Chains A and B, each alone.
Chain A
Amino acid sequence: MNTAEIEDPSDWALAKNQAFGGDLRINEIDAEAEDRIYRALRHFWHPVIYSEELTDAPRQVWLCGEQLVAVRLDGEVHVFNDMCAHRGTALSLGKIVVTDDCETLQCPYHGWRYASTGHCVLAPQRPDLAGRLRARIKRYNAIDRYGMVWVCLEDEPHFPLPEFPQFDDPSYDWVAVPSTSWDHTFAVRRTENYTDPAHLAFVHDGYLGDSSQPEIPAYEVHKTADNILQMRLAEPCLEPATAGKNKSIKTDKEFLSVMKTWDVFMPLTVLLRVFDDEGNDYALFFHPTPTSARTLRNFTIGARNFGETATIFDEIAVWNKIVYEQDEPIVSSQRPESLPEDLSMEMFLANVDTFSLHYRKWLLALADELVPK
């Protein structure tokens, strides 16, 4: 690995990711690692749609290249493979109808109906077969939690759902940041970006950092649970008081002194907390869902124990959408597109990139465990 502290006696060090010549092609190097990390993601929970977006009609959603249909039947969320067993039609084009006092999902093509178990309960062309049909559609683990519908593509999720205690605490308000799709980014690059304290001064200059103060405060990285990698500042940092998200914090100072912690629920969920010694507490619960190997959808719930409910959408949801728009072109440009498995492909600064180093190592350990070579 190229580390900051080791001096290379030969000349300037060139990170391996720059060696494009000869037989070493950037995109070949990461292909295998990317594939394994990507396939490992099937073993975890991912949000696919906000709960409030799933009402009285089925909705098409994507996860790890799978086309799924999310639907609420008798109040419970269910997620199926988005394909009728009869003629392969997308069930997300269908509708919810009542069959024998239960809500069922009806295919738009020939009207076949599916119960919440995925079993076909009626083929209208042969009603005599009802109850004896063996047709069924594949059903996935699904849970409605923290204002989002979560899905795991494997029967046994490797880790439990992440924890977001502020969501259930009555002293906090919460708001969903409108979800956006990024079309050129592997989801783990996005989580690395979300937990990167060093880019705030540049990409979010005047928003979350200040380009004249690029040094980052000391921080610690710990594994705090079987599934949590935590980064915690060892000392407070400064955040512009004028930032939209800080509008409801009354102060006459230019900068607020805040503490920050990031809990990464492996492999992708981030709970970022920002709090001061006045008791103001702000939490961002974030997950970049891999809709495919190269695309993601951003899901975020913002919660805070200060300010008015009436202003939370403007101050938290709209604000974070702006911040995300600042990140997107930068993260989309990164090569290789996925995180390289070979850590010597990029440069790591001691005390700056420590978190990213630990994050990648853990990610690779999960890939080794879940998708053996």
Chain B
Amino acid sequence: MTATGWPLAKNQAMDTTSEVSLEGDARIYESLRHFWHPVMYADDLGDGPAQATLCEVQLAIVRLDGEVSAFNDLCPHRGTALSLGSVVDGESCQELRCAYHGWQYDDGGRCTTIPQRPDLVDNLRVRVQTFPTVERYGLIWVCLLQDPMFPMAEFPQYDDPRFQHHHMKMPDWNCTSPRRVENYVDLGHFAILHDGFLGQVNHPEIPRHDVWREDHILRIKQLEPNREPVNEKYATDISGDEVVVDDDGEFTMTDQEWWLTMPLTVLLHQTLPGDRHYYLFFHATPLDPGTVRNFTIHARNFGDPDKAQQELFSFSQTIYGQDKPIVESQRPEALSRDLSHELHLQDVDTVALQYRLWLSELVASTEGTAN
């Protein structure tokens, strides 16, 4: 803070805004190749291959003998997209066949069949690049490097039979992935941007909370409950003395905590009255430097399962719709690594500060290990 009047954050200097972001933007973006990202919902993958994109790399996703593989979407022979091909039975296993000349690849990307010259296949060591791929939580996850820096995020409630879970397909956002994640764990905007949905504008103070590191996870935990308006995600289920009413309307007291698995996965846990638990699992997959695909899964141990899809979907659609134009408008587009570029409020922007500091450290360490 300067002594000479109101401080001006560096990002307000119009002429340098775009310049400032370029280098930091590129470095954070490059570092994302070291981590797991979901690239599609598993139920969108049919019998044939499908095309997906991660950090501008075009992928062919395919299920061979039940196991999912991710190939570079390019046949080494003539550069055709393998995602236009088909799954065929090879000698001992299912294989991916290119649509153009019928070259076939096994799940390791090795070419097993060259129909025009079957005699050559054993000495022609053709290979398509493949990437580490895992199917979990109904999502297909890919890492572009062979050794992911951190393990995949945990989401134990997904396999817990007491919980219903619901996948949600939402439009892509035109922003960077870290900006999207910062928005997801931003406690200060609930009362303002989501007034009447996740907070109340007359109560903008944010609950006291702790922020700390645990392995590769940034933990955030409220030390006191916050006022959450009664909303669609539990409207059909909540009643009686669980609901508080005052001049600002109906609300409940909610405890919240977050597990932010670095750098882009968030698990939100809300504890509502009556031992009701709601989990929201989220990952902001970077398709390219300025485009995010939102992978979202809800889980809850209450409510009518038949209504859950509609309740959760329509509620989230509203929330995402409120956030999208705001986050897409942020400049610089990337999170600035120089913290003086924006203004940070003590006890309010702690999460954002901690997240950015860690992200900077990750960038530095990936740059040390990048191949």
User: Per a CB cutoff under 8 Å, which of A4, A20, A203 touches B120?
Assistant: A4
* Contact present for A4 and B79 (CB under 8 Å): no
Closest to B98 in A: A202
B57 close to chain A: CB less than 8 A? yes
* Contact present for B123 and A7 (CB under 8 Å): yes
A353–B114 alpha-carbon span in the complex (Å): 12
A346–B76 alpha-carbon span in the complex (Å): 6
User: Per a CB cutoff under 8 Å, which of A13, A196, A215, A330 touches B126?
Assistant: A13
* Contact present for A349 and B72 (CB under 8 Å): no
* Contact present for A211 and B72 (CB under 8 Å): no
Residues from chain B with Cβ under 8 Å of A20 in the complex: 57, 72, 129
B325 close to chain A: CB less than 8 A? no
A305–B135 alpha-carbon span in the complex (Å): 59
A117 close to chain B: CB less than 8 A? no
* Contact present for B84 and A346 (CB under 8 Å): no
* Contact present for B110 and A333 (CB under 8 Å): no
* Contact present for B99 and A335 (CB under 8 Å): no
User: Per a CB cutoff under 8 Å, which of B58, B98, B102, B118 touches A201?
Assistant: B102
A334 close to chain B: CB less than 8 A? yes
Residues from chain B with Cβ under 8 Å of A17 in the complex: 74, 76, 79
A211–B103 alpha-carbon span in the complex (Å): 12
Residues from chain A with Cβ under 8 Å of B118 in the complex: 215
A198 close to chain B: CB less than 8 A? yes
Residues from chain B with Cβ under 8 Å of A201 in the complex: 102, 115
Interface residues of A (CB under 8 A from B): 2, 4-5, 7-8, 11-15, 17-18, 20-22, 196, 198-199, 201-203, 211, 214-216, 329-330, 333-336, 346-347, 349-353
Sample (23) of A-B pairs whose CB atoms are under 8 Å apart: A4-B117, A5-B120, A5-B123, A7-B123, A7-B125, A13-B124, A15-B126, A18-B74, A18-B128, A196-B101, A198-B116, A201-B102, A202-B98, A202-B101, A214-B101, A214-B115, A214-B116, A215-B118, A216-B116, A329-B84, A330-B100, A347-B76, A351-B117
Ranked nearest first, the 10 interchain pairs of A and B with the lowest CB-CB distance are A214-B115, A333-B81, A12-B127, A15-B76, A12-B125, A202-B102, A334-B79, A352-B116, A13-B125, A335-B79
Interface residues of B (CB under 8 A from A): 57-58, 72, 74, 76-81, 83-84, 98-102, 109-110, 114-118, 120, 123-129, 144, 371
Knowing that A12-B126, A198-B101 are A-B contacts, what are 14 other residue pairs whose CB atoms are under 8 Å apart, sorted by A's residue number? A4-B117, A8-B125, A12-B127, A14-B76, A18-B74, A18-B129, A199-B101, A202-B99, A215-B116, A333-B84, A334-B79, A346-B76, A346-B78, A350-B117
